[in-house]
Amino acid sequence: MSIRRRRRVEPEGHSGPDERWMASYLDMVTVLMCMFIVLFAMSSVDQQKFDALRSSLATGFGQEESERIDVSEGVIVPAELVDEDGEAFADVELSAAQKEFDNLSALRERLRTALEQNGLGDKATFTIDARGLTVSLVSAETFFATNSTALSDVAVRIIDALGAVLVTVPNEISVEGHADNRQSAAPFATNWELSSARATQVLRRLVEADGINPAAIKSVGFGDARPIAEGRSKEALAKNRRVDVVILSDAEEEVRQLLPGLQASSPVR
């Protein structure tokens, strides 16, 4: 009886040369490349910029005392948008102010276009300030006769052209009357009553004829306390007999205070 020997089965495996060393080699080459890049960058650094950066970082982390804050050279924000301490306003406030200014500017152009379409483009002036958008009904022609609250034909046409646009605006509106510096006569005891009555007439026209929401509009009289033309000439007196229609901004106080600066830096007035 013969015993047959069993063949030994060799385990299967990689028959070629072992290349696992390449992974470690490539890692080392990558590290060396990064090191040489860093060394090259350090060898060509601008020493002045490096010193400025080092000083700024040291000051920022409190390692060195400083009475001033390191800032970049050049104009970062317009001077009108910097507070009394020389610091720029918060980005959130600037963004909100720019948005509000753009909205008021767009409304100004709509109102201006409405007047131009009616041949009245030179009969009003526009100003954007911390209150909002002011439309002054001022021209060489008389909007109000002497000691009268009756609107002239020109004034009615202007108010109706403005009202067609303002009726679509959600902002509150302040109608502000002004009188010239001559003594008022009956039935008005003072220029306060006269200017208030004139503002009320404009308000009534905007509400009764143009559909402005009565809950969103008010009238104010300033008498002769805020003239825009000096002297007692016929033209100066006519300019001071005026009414301002102010579209009040509903933005926060901090945001509205930035509007004059944006107006000053705007190429369009």
Q: What is the pLDDT of residue 13?
A: 55
Tokens of 55: 């000083």
Does an H or E element contain 242, and which? Answer: strand 242-248
Calpha distance 211→166 (Å, rounded): 9
Q: Is the separation of the CB atoms in 121 and 115 below 8 Å?
A: yes
pTM (2 d.p.): 0.64
Q: How many helices (H) and strands (E) does the chain have?
A: 8, 5
Question: C-alpha angle 91/95/96, rounded to 5°?
Answer: 120
First to last CA, the chain: 119
Calpha distance 23→73 (Å, rounded): 48
DSSP 8-state code for residue 252: -
Domains in the chain (CATH in brackets) are 100-265 (3.30.1330.60)
Question: C-alpha angle 65/71/74, rounded to 5°?
Answer: 155
Decide the pairing of beta strands 242-248 and 132-136: antiparallel
Nearest of 153, 202, 138 to residue 173 by alpha carbon: 202
Question: C-alpha angle 129/200/192, rounded to 5°?
Answer: 80
Q: What are the φ/ψ torsions at residue 235 (nearest 5 degrees)?
A: -70, -40
pLDDT tens for the chain, 269 residues long, are 455 555 555 555 556 666 777 778 888 888 888 887 777 766 665 666 667 666 765 665 555 555 555 454 444 455 555 555 555 456 778 899 999 999 999 999 999 999 999 998 888 889 999 999 999 887 545 677 777 888 889 889 999 999 999 999 999 999 999 888 888 888 889 999 999 999 999 999 999 999 999 999 999 999 999 998 888 888 888 888 889 999 999 999 999 999 998 888 877 66
Taking the mean position of all CA atoms in its chain, how far away is CA 148? 39
Does an H or E element contain 220, and which? Answer: strand 217-221
For residue 187, give Cα distances in angstroms to 34, 184, 196. Answer: 91, 9, 13
